[in-house]
Structure 1
Amino acid sequence: MGGFFGFIWHQWTFTPKPLAASKSLEGKTVLITGGNIGLGFEAAKELASHRVSNLIMAVRDTKKGETAKEAILKESPDVKIEIWELDYDSYDSIIVFGERVKTLERLDYALLNAGLKQMQYTTAKLGHETNVQINHLGTSLVSLQILPALEKTAKATGKPSRLTIVSSEGHFWIPFNERTAPNILAKMDEKETFGKQMNRYYTTKLLNVLWARELATKIKKEEVVLNTVNPGFCYSGLHRHEKTGIIKIFLWAFGWTTQQGAHCLTDALVEHEDSHGEYLSEQKVVPPSNFVLSDEGQKVQKKIWNETLDVFKKEVPKADIRSFEA
C-alpha cells in the first residue's frame, strides 16, 4: 500500500463491489455531505436503493441538491429525501446545520464526503487556505456537530451508529514538511508552503486521517464506529480544477468509474463493524501510512487535534466543543 506501483496494481486488479442486494437499510436515517455530484451522488443513489427510510443530502447549492434528489427518486421513489444547506466555508452555516441535526429523531449513518482539490493557492472566505478550510477545518467541525445525534441514536437503538470520513491514498505520498512548524495549520495557510499540483490536497487528506484517529479515541465505539476511507482513483467532480490533462490520461488508463468509487464509500459506511479508528482501502481495513503509525505521527496527530480545537475556540466561539477539549 501507498507506493506508486501498489497504486497501479490495485487500480488494475481490484474491482469495487456494491452492497449486497439483500442489505436492507429500512428504518434508517442516512446523512451525506456533498451528495449532489460525483461520488457522493452515486453513494446516495446506492444507499437509497437499499430502502433507506430518510436520506439527508447536505449540499452547498440547494438547487443542485434538488436536481440530484429528483434523479434519485426516479430510481427509488419510496425514499424520503431531504436537501439541507451546508457550506464548509461558513461557520454560521455549520452551526445552523448542527443544530438542525440535533432535532432528528435518529441518525444512523453519516458520510462526510464533501471536499475539493484546489490545485493553486487560494484563500477561503474564512481566511484559511482553501483546501485546509474545506477538507480539514470544515469536515472536522461538522464531525463534532453531528456526533450528539449519532450517539443519541446508538443509545436508543442499542447499536452503534456509523461515521465515515472520506480520505485518500494520497495521504501516503506527501512530505508534510509543515509538520515541524510551531503551528502546523498556521504554516499551511502561508502561500509559500502550498507546494505543487496536488500536494496540499493530499496533505489535507492526511489531516483527515489524523483527525479521525484522534477523534476515535474520544468516543465510545459501542456508540459510534468512526473510520476513514480511500475511494480509489476514479472519475469524479473532484478533478474539475485539473487543467494539465494528465489526470484525464491517468483516468483513462487506471481509473475506476464513479459508481465503483462510491461502492467503496458505502462499504466503509455500512459494513466493517470492527473498523473504529481504522482506514479502509479496496473495501477492507488496511494500515494507514507509516508516518501516521510512527511515534512522530502520533505526536503530530495530537498536535493537529489541539490546533484545530484552538481554531474553533477562537473563530467559532458559539460551537460547543467543551466535551472534546480534555
Structure 2
Amino acid sequence: MPQPSVFKLFREQLNPPPLIRADLTGKTTIVIGANIGIGLEASKHLARMNPGRLILACRNKEKGESALAEIKKETNCETLELWLIDLSSFASVISFADKFEQDGGRLDAVLFNAAILETYLDYTADGWNSSYQINYMSSSLLGLLLLPRLLETAERYNTTPRMAYVSSGLHYFVKFDSKTVDASNALRLFGHKDHIAARLSKKTYPGRDAYNETKLMSVFFTRALNSMLHKKPIIIMQVDPGNSKSAIGRNESAWLLRIIFALLYNTIARTAEEGSRSLVWAIVGGEEKRDELRGAFISTVAKVDETSDYAVSKEGSVAQDKLWVSLCSRFSTCVPTLLTMRVGWFNQNNLIEELTNIEPRVQRIVQEHLTPHSRDARFEETVR
C-alpha cells in the first residue's frame, strides 16, 4: 500500500472519529500517562462507562491526584485509583508490575499513552536516552510483564483483553540505516549513552528524529509480539490520535518548531478530547472484527490502516527481527530471558543467566505464553 498522501492525512485530521461507548462493569483498565492531554480525556471517557476499576498510572503524585479529582468531579466515577510509575526508571516499571501481580485482580485493558519529545540529549539513571526508554523500552517491558495477567483474565472471564500503544503517523517517515540495524549492539547505538555518539553526525541532538524512531520501534514491537501470541485471546495494537493539542511538544527548544506547533494548534489540531476518541476506540471498539485488530495500526479516524511501506517490507521485517533480539538483550540489565521469546534456538545463555538473576519471572512468561516463529533462513541470517 502506498504511503498516505498529505491530502489523506489532512482530511482525516479534520474528521475526528465519533466517541464510542461500552459497558465496563466489573472490568479493570490501566491508563499510563493519565494526568494530562489525551490520556486525561480518554480516562474521563472510560470513567463514564462504569468501570470496575480505572487505574490512573502517573509519574507525579500531585498531578495524578489533581487528575483523579478532576475526573471524579466530572464523571462521578467512584472506582478510580492512582498508581505511580516512572517510565524513565526500569525499577519503577518492575515495581508497578509487581504491585499489580500482588494485587491479584483481573486486567482487561492497558492504554500506553505516556511519551516525550525531547530536543536536547538527556539520559535516564539507567543510562538510556530519555525518549528511547520512556517511549519504547519501558512501555514494551511493562507490556510483557502484564501479559500473564491479561491472558489469565481472558481465560477466567471468557473475554478478550487489549493492550493499545499510542502511536504516530510520523512513523511513516522513518527508515532505519542498515548499518545501525546490522550492528550487534543496534539498540544501544540508537539510545544508550555509551554508544549513541557513534551514530550521531550532527552537533545538535535530533530529538524529533528520536521520537519518530521510537514510534516505528513500537510498531515493530507490537507486530512481533502479536505474531508470537498465535491468536491467543488478547488484542495488541497501535493507535494514532492524530495531531492533538497536548503537551507532547512542551519541551521544544527550536524557535521555528515552536512556531510550527503554535500554528498547528491554532488551525488544524484536534482538541485533546477529540484526539482521545481514537484511544477509547482502541480499548472498547471494533468488537465485531477482533481478528483484524490483532497487531493492527489504528488510524486517526479509528479504522484499521496499513503501517508504513518500510515496516511491512522485507528490509523492515529484518529490522524488526533484529531490534526484537536487541531489545530483549538490553533487558538483561533489568529482566530475565525475554530473548527466548523470539529466538528460542539462538544461543544466549549468558544473557539468560543475567536476566534471570534480576527478574526470574520473565523466564516463566516466555515459556508459558509465547511461541517463537518457526525457524526460517531469512531470520537465521539476521541473527548470525
TM-score by length of 1: 0.93
Q: Is the counterpart of residue 308 in structure 1 residue 332 in structure 2?
A: no
Alignment map for 1:166-177 (pairs within 5 Å): 166-177=166-177
Residue 265 of structure 2 corresponds to 251
Residue 203 of structure 1 corresponds to 213
1:11·1:255 contact (CA, 8 Å) conserved in 2? yes
Shift of 1:314: 3.2
Residue 16 of structure 2 corresponds to 15
Code of the residue aligned with 1:269 in structure 2: it is I
2:71·2:77 contact (CA, 8 Å) conserved in 1? no
Q: Percent identity?
A: 30
Q: Work out which of the residue numbers 233, 242, 250 in structure 1 matches 2:252.
A: 242
Cα distance in 2 for partners of 1:32, 1:170 equals 23
Secondary structure at the residue paired with 1:176? coil
Shift of 1:249: 0.8
Secondary structure at the residue paired with 1:299? helix
Residue 121 of structure 1 corresponds to 121
Cα distance in 2 for partners of 1:114, 1:284 equals 22
Shift of 1:15: 2.0
Q: Work out which of the residue numbers 317, 321, 325 in structure 1 matches 2:362.
A: 321
RMSD between aligned residues:
1.8
Structure 1 unaligned blocks of 5 or more: none
Code of the residue aligned with 2:142 in structure 1: it is V
Alignment map for 1:68-107 (pairs within 5 Å): 68-102=67-101, 103-107=103-107
Shift of 1:101: 1.6
1:110·1:164 contact (CA, 8 Å) conserved in 2? yes
Cα distance in 1 for partners of 2:122, 2:298 equals 30
Code of the residue aligned with 2:10 in structure 1: it is I
Code of the residue aligned with 2:131 in structure 1: it is N
Structure 2 unaligned blocks of 5 or more: 336-354, 373-384
Code of the residue aligned with 2:362 in structure 1: it is I
Shift of 1:315: 3.8
Cα distance in 2 for partners of 1:167, 1:184 equals 22
Shift of 1:283: 0.2
Q: Is the counterpart of residue 276 in structure 1 residue 294 in structure 2?
A: yes
TM-score by length of 2: 0.80
Cα distance in 1 for partners of 2:13, 2:77 equals 35
Q: Work out which of the residue numbers 190, 210, 229 in structure 2 matches 1:219.
A: 229
1:160·1:221 contact (CA, 8 Å) conserved in 2? no
Cα distance in 2 for partners of 1:234, 1:208 equals 20
Deviations 1:8-30 (A, max 9, x none): 23213x2221114xx21111111
Cα distance in 2 for partners of 1:148, 1:175 equals 33
Cα distance in 2 for partners of 1:309, 1:73 equals 39
Q: Is the counterpart of residue 231 in structure 1 residue 241 in structure 2?
A: yes
Cα distance in 1 for partners of 2:20, 2:226 equals 25
Deviations 1:213-269 (A, max 9, x none): 101122253421111111101101112112422111122222111001110101011
Residue 156 of structure 1 corresponds to 156
Shift of 1:180: 4.3
Code of the residue aligned with 1:183 in structure 2: it is N
2:31·2:43 contact (CA, 8 Å) conserved in 1? yes
Residue 67 of structure 1 corresponds to 66
- CA distance 1:154–1:185, shift in 2 (3 Å): same
Code of the residue aligned with 2:27 in structure 1: it is K
Residue 43 of structure 2 corresponds to 44
Deviations 1:182-213 (A, max 9, x none): 43211112145386351110100001100011
Code of the residue aligned with 1:42 in structure 2: it is E
Code of the residue aligned with 2:273 in structure 1: it is Q
Cα distance in 2 for partners of 1:7, 1:121 equals 30
Cα distance in 2 for partners of 1:62, 1:220 equals 38
